[in-house]
Amino acid sequence: MASFATSWLCIFFLLCCAYAGEAEYILYKDHKQHLNNRIKDLLSRMTLAEKIGQMTQIERKNASADVMKNFFIGGVLSGGGSVPAPMASAEVWVNMVNEIQRAALSTRLGIPMLYGIDAVHGHNNVYNATIFPHNIGLGATRDPELVRRIGVATALEVRATGIPYTFAPCIAVCRDPRWGRCYESYSEDHAVVQAMTEIIPGLQGDIPANSSKGVPYVAGKDKVAACAKHFVGDGGTHNGINENNTIIDRHGLLSIHMPAYYNAIIHGVSTVMVSYSSWNGVKMHADYNLVTGYLKNTLKFRGFVISDWQGIDRITTPADVNYTYSVQQGVNAGIDMVMVPYDYPTFINELTSLVNKGVIPMSRIDDAVRRILRVKFTMGLFEIALADLSFAEQLGSREHRDLAREAVRKSLVLLKNGKRANEPILPLPKKASSILVAGTHANNLGYQCGGWTIEWQGGSGDTTVGTTILDAIKFTVDGSTDVIYSENPDASLVKANNFSYAIVVVGETPYAETNGDNLNLTIPDPGPSTIQTVCGAIKCVVVIISGRPVVITPYIASIDALVAAWLPGSEGQGVADVLFGDYGFTGKLPRTWFKSVDQLPMNVGDKHYDPLFPFGFGLTTMPTGRMISGAVVRNEHYGMVSLFINLLVTFIVSKTCCFEGCLFFDWE
């Protein structure tokens, strides 16, 4: 009898467990359920405090466990230079992100937070990451497939540190190089910018064939959510002043600054960041007609809209003069997640009060949270919220550095090659008795990477891991060639040595955003004097490191060859690869090179277009390499078709130039 009773007790216990298990079923946690059903179920369970928490993104320094749990914070970010420790490893990053995530998961509903970072030319905040050329250099490549591969590599390196979201790409159309963010723009021509949105499927993965337009998509744990920015017209501000007013009619806005957003949305971009700038006097962060009316309703964007860093604060002038008004205007305009890195309690209190008073309708809050949840569900954060170290070896990998080196090669634009057309100086001979390398930028990794590298404004010296242009030159030349380096040589040094030729590397020092606004665009000292001292005495190649065209008219006559290298990033070897002819010059100007700043703004198609070098200009050289029957062949394995084409090209051009100096005058 006792045995019979025990059996029934066991059965009863199992039935209770089964019932309890069934009762614990939560629809939004079931990945087999339709996305919309999961969103609807979770949204129905959320309090106002939990909803407003999801709309709040804070700086990682403030993201303690208590803050995450008490305020139900939905997003965390690293600002420029905000790192868990100097030179932090992938493991240190992953542990930090997971610590914050565990706090988010411990809340009542367990909604994972979304961590974002500005990986705008590679994973640029992180030590030892691959630093790719800034966007202006990628625009010079005219190679969307290359940019797509850079997106793939960047996603892997971002995931290596446990981060699933990047505030990239910037798809601004820079119409004035005096703008401090011009290097973040691929081109002055919207068509080039549109083509370069191919980086989005690189970062996020290809959207499914049957996907609806505007629906965000992230393919898996090796991909990251992307962010198209800054909506809209940020590259067209008056006099190129950062965060200023873009004065243009609706047709101009839609035909120049908007087209890349069409492409981004078609690619399934997850988020869109609003610009600090204004359009005809209306702050973009408060522009309902563009943010909600056009982006969400006309373009059918279904991801979420995020503010820029303290973006709603700047709706008023001066900032914060009426914060309640700013919150009301920003959220009602259609901003879904608000970047309030520091004073998040005030934002949360103000937004809560505005909702309770009916100034901001609950429907607007629900729309914002629905969009945020859609992105989080699509990313798979509810299934895999915590990161691991499975991608740690991707950070700064050899494969990615080789890709960056390729991008550098393709980004270089040859503006001049020889003082006479029939006397080219490039490619340079690798074997020479001695050569001079000069200039502030020849041996400075921080300078060649530019802003948004380790620190927000960039830095000087060995800020991260990479190859300087000087080291690349030393590696490339013949072992018997003596390489003499002087940052700023005087005339006596130049004259006392019988240099075969000189390579002068000068340009802009690093900057970001407003700190880069510049009305004169001159090369900083001692760059001009270095050019004059060296090029006035010996044959010279000048390599300009800059985020935009700069003033070169006073020096160009004395320069034998001129190369625009933009901001090439960590892999300086790509510069030497082309200077010495292992690869040819192929880059084309992504923007017009002016004669004088008095001409600005000046863009291709303008009525009075009179540039020093026009948009799309770029001389082309053939690679030297090793010779087979007169054809240029590098160390790759060429198929018969490639060899035939090479031989044909050789035959066509052999009557007019030699391979050591052959050039073609190419426009777009």
Catalytic positions? 308, 513
Closest CA to 501 of 477, 522, 471, 519: 477
Residue type at position 305: V
Cα of first residue to Cα of last residue in the chain, in angstroms, is 95
DSSP characters over 275-342: PSSEETTEEGGG-HIIIIIIIIIIS---SEEE--TTTGGGGSSSTTTTHHHHHHHHHHHT--BEE-SS
CA distance 594 to 96: 47
* Measured torsion, CA atoms of residues 483, 487, 490, 491, in degrees rounded to the nearest 10: 50
Specify the pairing of strand 227-231 against strand 271-274.
parallel
Closest CA to 236 of 177, 291, 285, 293: 177
Closest CA to 406 of 414, 398, 415, 416: 398
Residue appearing with tokens 């549109």: 194
Tokens read off for 322: 């009426």
**Three-class DSSP category at 610:** coil
CA distance 652 to 645: 11
Closest CA to 249 of 235, 228, 262, 233: 233
* Measured torsion, CA atoms of residues 275, 280, 286, 290, in degrees rounded to the nearest 10: -80
Residue 511, Cβ neighbours under 10 Å: how many? 20
Residue type at position 53: G
Residues 437 and 446: beta-carbon distance below 8 Å:
no
Tokens read off for 84: 């868990």
Q: Assign 3-class secondary structure to 365-408.
A: HHHHHHHHHHHHHHHCCCCCCCCCCCCHHHCCCHHHHHHHHHHH
Contacts of 150 (CB under 8 A, 6+ apart): 122, 132, 138, 199, 202, 403, 404, 407
User: What percentage of the chain's residues is helix, strand, coil (to nearest 5)?
Assistant: 40, 15, 45
Residue appearing with tokens 């900057």: 511
